[in-house]
Homo-oligomer: A and B are copies of this chain.
Amino acid sequence: MCQLLGMNSRLPASLTLSFTGFSQRGGCTDHHSDGWGIAFFESEGQAPGRAARFFVDKESAATSPIAQMLRTYPIKSHNVVAHVRKATVGAVTLENCHPFMRELWGRYWVFAHNGDLKEFAPHLHGSFKPVGSTDSELAFCWLLQELNKSHAAAPSEEELTKTLAELVPQIAKHGTFNFLLSNGQALWAHASTKLHYVQRQHPFAEVHMKDEDIKVDLSELNCPEDRLIIVVTEPLTTNENWVAMAPGELRVFKDGCPLVRAGVEELALA
């Protein structure tokens, strides 16, 4: 089992606190020691950025020098996708570390997956090909290929969500398909078995971290205008109202809010 972590924020925000707890799950409080990765769409001033900083490592997230650097170096971002990995399919090599990144419509897209897909062997036309051997990268390449076929240029988040709601069940029927996807403008989350999110906004409270025995006063780390969503496999704190996503639920988060809720009914039928 891998674990996913995503953030979508209205204002540029650093994920340092949540990443600190999350990265302990890579080989420390949990058994995920087969690599990790994180992609930050770095903010340009107050606006969401187009480019991503992209860090992957075969070393455990709990001990990696790169993860150590990130725990102390706050990178401001509107959208973040992170992953710690327990290898199930594919060897433990760098090319199999999530998130994966590709360019489509002149934007970078990042994707991380938790779960396993069985007998998923879609036809790829060649514009997006996996570099590694995971079912996850294969699913990502197919999704981008089909999005590209469905839209001549980048559509709105609402349009993209509708298309994803049609595409995702075709993959999800092959197994467990919890995923996070971002293009720097929004964050999409799909739950197959397990994914939770929480919205943090003014007034910010004191939270009790689950992976480290500490309490953190979020009002000291945020200003009243901040508003953000954290999406994660297992809740990071013990005293916040984490929402468990339903099986087959697809959500898109923008500006620190759920934008639309799509596909619960359609996906449940798939």
- Scan residues 54-71 of chain A and give those whose CB is less than 8 A from a CB of chain B: 54-58, 65-66, 69
A116 within 8 A of B: no
Considering the chains assembled together, what is the distance between the CA atoms of A49 and B57 in angstroms?
A: 13
| Option from B51, B69, B73, B95 in Cβ contact (under 8 Å) with A51 | B95
Interface centre among A58, A128, A131 (most CB of B within 10 A): A131
Determine if A97 and B131 form an interchain contact, defined as CB atoms under 8 angstroms apart: no
A42 within 8 A of B: yes
* The stretch of A24-32, A101-109, A163-171 that contacts the partner chain: A101-109
Considering the chains assembled together, what is the distance between the CA atoms of A44 and B97 in angstroms?
A: 13
A: number of interface residues (CB 8 Å) = 35
**CB nearest neighbor in B for A43:** B94
Determine if B42 and A51 form an interchain contact, defined as CB atoms under 8 angstroms apart: no
Considering the chains assembled together, what is the distance between the CA atoms of A58 and B96 in angstroms?
A: 27
Considering the chains assembled together, what is the distance between the CA atoms of A44 and B129 in angstroms?
A: 20
Q: Which residues on B sit within 8 Å (CB–CB) of A42?
A: 58, 94
Determine if A51 and B106 form an interchain contact, defined as CB atoms under 8 angstroms apart: no
| Option from B51, B56, B69, B95 in Cβ contact (under 8 Å) with A97 | B51
Q: Which residues on B sit within 8 Å (CB–CB) of A173?
A: none
Determine if B49 and A95 form an interchain contact, defined as CB atoms under 8 angstroms apart: yes
A127 within 8 A of B: yes
Determine if A50 and B131 form an interchain contact, defined as CB atoms under 8 angstroms apart: yes
Determine if A44 and B93 form an interchain contact, defined as CB atoms under 8 angstroms apart: yes
**CB nearest neighbor in B for A141:** B103
**CB nearest neighbor in B for A105:** B129
Given contacts A42-B94, A44-B93, contact A50 B132 (CB under 8 A): yes
Q: Kindly provide the distance from the CB of A135 to the nearest chain B CB, expressed in whole angstroms.
A: 15
Q: Kindly provide the distance from the CB of A68 to the nearest chain B CB, expressed in whole angstroms.
A: 8
Determine if A51 and B44 form an interchain contact, defined as CB atoms under 8 angstroms apart: no
Considering the chains assembled together, what is the distance between the CA atoms of A51 and B72 in angstroms?
A: 26
A258 within 8 A of B: no
A247 within 8 A of B: no
- Scan residues 109-153 of chain A and give those whose CB is less than 8 A from a CB of chain B: 127-132
13 sampled A-B residue pairs with Cβ under 8 A: A50-B94, A50-B95, A51-B56, A51-B93, A51-B94, A51-B132, A53-B55, A53-B56, A65-B72, A69-B69, A105-B129, A106-B131, A108-B131
